[in-house]
Amino acid sequence: MNANLKDPAPATSVPGSAGSALPALNQWVAQVAALTRPDTIQWCDGSDAEYQALLQRMLADGTLETLNQDTHPGSYLHRSHPEDVARVEHLTFVCTNEREDAGPNNHWMAPREGHAKMDALFEGCMKGRTMYVIPYCMGPIDSPLARCGVEITDSPYVVANMRTMTRMGAAALKRIESGDSFVRGLHSIGELDPERRFIMHFPDELAIKSFGSGYGGNALLGKKCHALRIASHQARHEGWLAEHMLIVGIENPQGETHYVAAAFPSACGKTNLAMLIPPEGYRRDGWKVWTVGDDICWMRPGADGRLYAINPEAGYFGVAPGTSAKSNPNALASIQTNTIFTNVGVTADHQPWWEGLDNGQTPVTDWRGNAFDAAKGPAAHPNARFTVSARQCPSYSPEAENPAGVPISAIVFGGRRASLVPLVFEARDWTHGVLIGAAMGSETTAAATGAVGVMRRDPMAMKPFCGYNFADYFAHWLSFDQAGAKLPKVFHVNWFRKGDDGKFLWPGFGDNLRVLEWMIGRVKGEAGAADTPIGHLPKASDLNLDGVALSDEAQAKLFGFDPAGWSAEFDSIGEYLREYGPRMPQALHDEQQRIAAALKG
C-alpha cells in the first residue's frame, strides 16, 4: 500500500496459524508496520479471551466505562471525541484513475495523490501503540456469497466492534489462507484532529485507508467502506448487488415466509422494520417476523432466476435515540447484555440512557461525560449507537447463516417525506422500479454531519455509499432484467407523511406489517391496487386496517396522489438524471419522460 520500508517492522505476536498467512498478507502487514512504526503487532484471533483482554485494556485507559452489570451485564460505554460523532461524507473519497468512474455522486481524488496524502498521515502514527491485524469475513463464513477483508488499526475499540459486526479472527484467516482475495483496510485514529481526517477508497485495488476518526462508519472498515463502497464495485464486476438494505422475513399463518429487502437512508427506520413485532391481531393469527439483517444486503441471481441475499454483517450498529419498548422492543431486548454503547447518557446507577427510551429513568451524565443539563443539549448524541451481536435479537432468523442466502420476493425503497409521497405504491416493472430507487428523496438526519431535515436525492439510500458513478450503478441494476430472471417486485414506502398539523399520519412501528402484507399479496397476485401514473396504489380498503383509526385527511394523503405535485416532482427527477450526463441509461430518461407525460396528460 505504498508503505515506506525504511524502518524495520517490530516483532510480531502471531497466535496460532497466523504466521502461515498468505505471503501477500504478511508482506502487506510488514509494509504497514514499517510505515506506521507501532510498538507491537497483534494478530487478532476473535477469541473470548482476546475480547476480554481488550475490554480490560480499554477500561484501564478510560476508552470504556463499565455500565451497571446487574441491569446490563457485559455492557460498556464509549465516549468518542465530541467532533467525531458521525460519518464525514465531505472527507470521504473514491480514488479511481478517471474522475468520471467515481461520478458526481462521489468526492474524487487520483489514486497516486490519495495514497501520498494518506501515507504522509500514517507515517509513524502508531508509535507507542499496538497495531492490530483483524482478518474478517463479511457474510457467513462458509458462504460463496461472502467476501473477506483484513483491517489494520491502532484502535482496540475498533477491534472489539469488528468482532461483533463481522465473522472475525481465525476462521476468516483460514478462508484467506485458502486463497480468497481480501480487501485491505488501514485505519488509525491519529490525533482525532478534524483537520487531519480522511477516508479514502481505492476500488481497483480493493483497498481502504482511513485516518483521524474513531467513529463507526469511518473506522469499522468492514461496514460502509468495505460492505458498500468497495463491495458495490466488486458487485458490478462480478454480477451481483451490494445494497444499503435491511432483510426481513415475513411468515404468514400458512407457514410461508417471504423475504423483503428494503433501502432507507440512515436513521430512517431500517432497524425498526427489520425487527418489527406484528400487531396483536396479527400475532394472534400466527404472523411472524424474522430478522436477517438491519443495514446491508448482498444479492445475486440464483440458478432459478430469483435474487438471493445474505447479510454480510454479524451484528447491529444501531441508532440508540428513539429506541424504546414502543418503537422497537426487539432492539431494546437485544441490547440488555453484552453491548457496547457509544455516546449515550448515563443514569445515577450507571445505566445507559437516551432520548426516547421512556423507561422512567433520568440521566445524570450526558454523552460528553458532563453533568446533564437539558438546557445545554440532549443527554445522548442524536447519532448515539449500540453495537450488539445479531444473535441476541429475539426475532433473529436462523436463515441469517444460510450460505445460499434467502430468496427475495420484494424490494422496497423509502425515505422521510413529510408531503407528496403516499404510504406505499408499486412499480409497474423492473425499469420503473429502478427509476423509483434512483429518484428516491429523503430528509437528512443526524447520521451524517451537516444540516438535518433538508430534502435531498438519495438513490437506493446509497448516496454516501456507492463506490462508483451512479449512472453506471443504475445501468448495473437495469442489467438484471434478463430472459429467465424472476425479479422481485419493487415498492416505495413513506412512513413519515405528515398532516396539516405537522404530526405523522401513519402509526408506523408494528403497523407497518399491514403494508408488507399488502406487498406480499401483490407478489402472490391476490391484493388489489389502482393504476396511476406513478404506479400501483392501494386503496385504504386493500389493506387490513382493523384497529387503526385514520382520519379523512390521513386516508386522503396516505392513499391518494396529487397529480400537480407529482408533475413537479418528475420535472425535478428529470433534471436530476441529466446531472449525470451521457452515462445515464436512456431507459431511465425514457421512463421518467413517459411518467411525466402521463401526469401532464
**pLDDT tens digit string along 60-93?**
999 999 999 999 999 999 999 999 998 898 999 9
Quick one: pLDDT band at residue 1, thresholds 50, 70, 90? very low
pLDDT value, residue 87: 86
Q: Which residues are annotated as a binding site?
A: 87, 215-217, 224, 244, 266-272, 295, 383-385, 416, 509-512
Q: What's the per-residue H, E or C state across 375-392?
A: HHCCCCCCCCEEEEEHHH
The answer to whether the CB of 296 falls within 8 A of the CB of 244 is: yes
Give me the DSSP letters along 176-195.
Answer: HHTT--EEEEEEE-TT--GG
Q: Which residue carries 423475504 as its cell?
A: 259
pLDDT, average across residues 510-537: 98
**Tell me, what amino acid is at 214?**
G
C-alpha cell recorded at residue 115 = 495514497
268 classed as catalytic: yes
With a CB cutoff of 8 Å and minimum separation 6, the contacts of 132 are: 41, 42, 44, 152, 153, 154, 155, 156, 158, 159
With a CB cutoff of 8 Å and minimum separation 6, the contacts of 524 are: none
pLDDT cut 90: percent of the chain above it = 91
| Residue 447 confidence (pLDDT) above 80 | no
Quick one: pLDDT band at residue 8, thresholds 50, 70, 90? very low
pLDDT, average across residues 46-59: 98
Domains of the chain, earliest start first: 12-63+87-239 (3.40.449.10), 242-314+397-600 (3.90.228.20), 316-392 (2.170.8.10)
**Dist CA 568 CA 571 (whole Å):** 5
Q: Which residue carries 396516505 as its cell?
A: 558
Give me the DSSP letters along 397-409.
Answer: -GGGG-TT-EEEE
Residue closest to 152 by CA, chosen among 77, 207, 203, 191:
207
Phi, psi of 167 (to 5 degrees): -90, 95
Q: Which residues are annotated as a binding site for substrate?
A: 87, 215-217, 266, 383-385
**Dist CA 85 CA 65 (whole Å):** 18
Q: Which residue carries 402509526 as its cell?
A: 507
| Residue 20 confidence (pLDDT) above 50 | no
Catalytic residue among 148, 268, 297, 393: 268
**pLDDT tens digit string along 209-246?**
999 999 999 999 999 999 999 999 999 999 999 999 99
pLDDT value, residue 449: 60
Look at phi and psi of residue 304 and say left if phi exceeds 0, alpha if psi is from -120 to 50, else beta: alpha
**pLDDT tens digit string along 122-180?**
999 999 999 999 999 999 999 999 999 999 999 999 999 999 999 999 999 999 999 88
Segments of 329-383 assigned E as strands: 340-342, 345-347, 352-353, 363-365
CA atoms within 13 A on the CB side of 281: 8
C-alpha cell recorded at residue 476 = 448495473
Phi, psi of 530 (to 5 degrees): -100, 140
**pLDDT tens digit string along 255-306?**
999 999 999 987 788 999 999 999 999 999 999 999 999 999 999 999 999 9
DSSP 166: S
**pLDDT tens digit string along 367-412?**
999 999 999 999 999 999 999 999 999 999 999 999 999 999 999 9
pLDDT value, residue 22: 75
